[in-house]
Structure 1
């Protein structure tokens, strides 16, 4: 007989076998004992914590020939056939692949019929958050008032994606991550039954890697058993999972403490030669510093004893650092770990992060606060420079007040009216703020071509562009679908976005390159992608509309031509705050 995966072999078949969910098991058993089970349940929690297993056990308990009972007997015909999935009245649906309204309408039409084989008709809908809005609407009324013989059990890892109207119609049970001790006990039980010898530190490391998911832990144990044979050791687990032993990190941390850059780089190179990944090294190093900090600050905590096997050894390493040094190191490592997600050279970032730790003056690392938001590697500005900038800002504020007293309106004021600066010609002022002049000048060609044949052709084929992008990269499609083409000028297509986040993500070089390639394929010639916020596009279009009854022409300042007669205080304001934040009203 072929091998069956451990997580399937050891799948709970009774409530007493569910690991780490005592609060849920007790509630369900009490409701079964008193006959107070409801028509709709919502099981949510992390993956591998027993949601679907609990749903099947509940289906057996309400339909057991010896029940309804607090535990299914697993011996009667109903229990056996439900376990095998052979009962037509107990339906398990994967909402990830059956997410449309038609599938839910089919359920709605069939619930009215009484069960033919068992006492209670049970629908288990797994990953229910994947259903479409229309499907949820179709399910809503049935879920609220189903026939007496029907029970719904919804399971999900992301309950926040469910409509509140669905959640309010269910009894909600929150499954927790399985504790490390419960996982260790279960894994030892599995090893005993499978006649496998396993070292305690190896089992604990497997439990730590599974992050509270019992299924993940059993799958990992199954893989390691195939590698190790009849005896599972700690070294085997390290080797097969690509992890790193704590003594390797101890050497690395000691080299950082001694500021031995050569030894640090050699250790990183050794990790890479062993097939470790840079992001995994960074993740494990952060965990190691976290453990050092826990040992130093709360040595008797349960969180320490759960994660650390040799607490005394960790305490010895932690003594060589101050608490602030450890926090600073974690802060810097966390910053570079975030940067790794967008880097094509993660190993280089790992090396830079550790060299930065070595080169710090106090043996630690500068905190994240020391890194400027504007330039990611910049150090904190000296106090003298901060004082100088504050003085300049105060001086600018005083000058602005004086200008306002002289009749210059504030930037937020009206652009029209009969103020002191109004032209004596009596005509309506057509002056545009300097920042808007640049924007309109850039869009001039697009504004003229928004109703052209090329623009209409691109708009007609845009759904084909979206479809082709979705086929190649669905994540990019999710951002691009927020925009719509508004004009074509030359070899450029202007796309207007409602959301700035969607626009910025679409503008990333890799995403933009793919979109432009798709546009070339669909439209038949190469086009560049230009983006704009839709509110800016409408504003620019409004600026060039001629005033009714007026023949005055709107003249635009060329983009490269500097705006004349800018006073010194205006230049300073733009340097300090940026041109986007400084608004200038011309007379």
Structure 2
């Protein structure tokens, strides 16, 4: 006898043989054993999940004289005739090639005749969604009121293309994708029955490549057996499926994680030169990244699906942060979509490789970022580390030698902050103070909180600690606690536009913001008052600010003294009046 493909040899002949569809098969068996069958059924689901097999088993079971608990005997002449496709009362129709009105009209004429050999005449229409609109309309009346002892079973992979009027006249059963472990178990059963040696990991590779379809898994297994030599190995399965080895993916993502762009690109070229497809490459790396994330959260769950975890995989999972894996998955998914419409697959692979290798995530692992927060840039982190070291050194000197404070507290200010490299926009601040009014400042302060809520998350995170301290009809001076951020904000045109646009909505004034460090505000304000004596008319609008400035300075000095005593101890603090 000629060789038959595995998916034909091992096609399910009983409901219990159908893998991974327990809910569907048990419902059909109960309906058959209790004689509560319907006149029309709709089987939907992905390819290779058992829809057509279930339809033929149902046709056998409903006509089998030796049926037991809804299962056909597969021994009587009726079961054998249906299995071999010889029974005239069980008609299989491929709707892809018989989708016209004439074919359906022919069915309408033939259903009037009673079955000749069995109790029920069964029509199995595969890929029913391919029928034309006219054909569906022609089928509609027959489905609604079929002749006695006639049964329709419709099978499709795309139920959304079937008219609702057809679906409402059928009992619908949804076949789901088969789990990886179920496919592996069934493939292992087949190989054991064939007495064929195999590596268990090879079955996991085939099962994952099948993407939930048993027929695809059996076809791949058939190829792998033809390729292998007396034993099915992991390498045989990788060659047949076109998948990447664990070592390839370990090395590729390790190079990307370490920022080794040249090594990662060389790895891509090597993989493609071995005949791997670009789409398959991206899909494998995407699944690998997903596995890394699952392993970090639920390792036992991953072991059930993957079957094997290499040492390189474990090391990579421990080194990569969750946030970095999230970004890997996003970038790979975007590239997967781009490859579907591109003729330059290699270019996209190289681009995504560079992106993965250059990706920098500075948020610590498993630490959630609150809404509005911004990850610290590397250069800012270095600056903060330098400032911290300087403050620690100064603190050690203070504890050893004590501290001397004056009423103007220049020493405390110099100890508190190092000289800034940020160039103060003195001219811009003076222009604001020249036209500043108490009313404009209060008006701006009242809506500043609302303004922050109107900005984007990034913008709100950058200026969340800002405070308006002086305002005119065209500009506002805003203090901030970081020199570095002030410099960045003053050069951010998009942020300036957002502030102006939203202030226009809130107070009908498109104010431009000038950001300065908080520690420099008092000095700039006092310098301006010394350099620009006010006339009586000007004092009416600005002098309240000046008075407040003097009061603020005194209060600040007192607060600094109290904080110094609280921090260093009264015995180390000496207050001098100069």
Q: CA 1:317–1:114 in structure 2 vs 1: closer, same or farther (change >3 Å)? A: same
Question: What's the CA shift string for 1:464-506, capped at 9, x where partnerless?
Answer: xxxxxxxxxxxxxxxxxxxxxxxxxxxxxxxxxxxxxxxxxxx
**In structure 2, C-alpha distance between the alignment counterparts of 1:249 and 1:385, rounded to whole Å:** 42
> What pairs with 1:81-100 in structure 2 (closer than 5 Å)?
81-100=81-100
What is the CA distance between 1:60 and its match in structure 2?
Answer: 0.6
- Counting only pairs closer than 5 Å after superposition, residues 106-117 of structure 1 correspond to structure 2 as 106-117=106-117
For 1:59-208, what aligned pairs fall within 5 Å after superposition?
59-67=59-67, 70-208=70-208
Correspondences of 1:30-429 after superposition (within 5 Å): 30-67=30-67, 70-300=70-300, 302-303=301-302, 305-310=304-309, 313-362=312-361, 384-391=492-499, 393=501
Q: For residue 363 of structure 1, report the CA deviation from its aligned partner.
A: 8.0
Separation in 2, partners of 1:89, 1:238: 45
Cα separation, 2, equivalents of 1:338 and 1:75? 50
What residue is the counterpart of 1:499 in the other structure?
none
- Which of the two has higher C-alpha Rg? 2
Q: Secondary structure at the match of 2:118?
A: coil
Over the aligned positions, Cα root-mean-square deviation in angstroms equals: 2.5
Instruction: Measure how far apart 1:194 and its partner are.
Output: 2.1
Matched position secondary structure for 1:71: coil
Secondary structure of residue in 2 paired with 1:151: strand
> Could you report, residue by residue, the CA deviation over 1:35-72 in whole angstroms, capped at 9, with x for unpaired residues?
11111111111110100001001101111132486111
Aligned partners of 2:499 and 2:165: how far apart in 1? 56
CA contact (8 A) 1:44 1:173 kept: yes
CA deviations over 1:179-233 (Å, ceiling 9, x no partner): 1121111101111222211110001111111111000000000001011032100
TM-score in terms of structure 1 length: 0.63
Assess if the C-alpha contact under 8 Å between 1:295 and 1:314 holds in 2.
no
Structure 2, gaps ≥5 residues long? 364-373, 375-457, 460-487, 511-578
Do the aligned partners of 1:45 and 1:157 also contact (CA within 8 Å) in 2? yes
Matched position secondary structure for 1:136? helix
- Number of corresponding residues: 387
Q: Is the 8 A contact 1:283 1:337 kept in 2?
A: yes
Where is the helix percentage greater, Structure 1 or Structure 2? Answer: 2
Deviates more, 1:264-273 or 1:332-341: 332-341
- After superposition, the Cα gap between the structure-2 partners of 1:227 and 1:392, relative to the gap in structure 1 and judged at 3 Å, is same
- Mapped to 2, the partners of 1:139 and 1:122 lie a distance apart of 15
CA contact (8 A) 2:89 2:120 kept: yes
After superposition, what is the alpha-carbon deviation per residue over 1:263-300, rounded to whole angstroms, capped at 9, x for unaligned? 11111111111111222211111111111111112333
Instruction: Report SS of the residue matched to 1:41.
Output: strand
Shift of the 353–117 alpha-carbon distance from structure 1 to 2, 3 Å rule, reads same
- Residue 49 of structure 1 aligns to a residue in which SS? coil
Structure 2 CA distance, aligned partners of 1:286 and 1:360? 16
Q: Residues of 1 paired with 2:356 and 2:15: CA distance?
A: 50
Secondary structure, in 3 states, of the residue corresponding to 1:319? helix
What residue ranges of structure 1 are gaps of 5+ in the alignment? 365-369, 371-379, 403-587
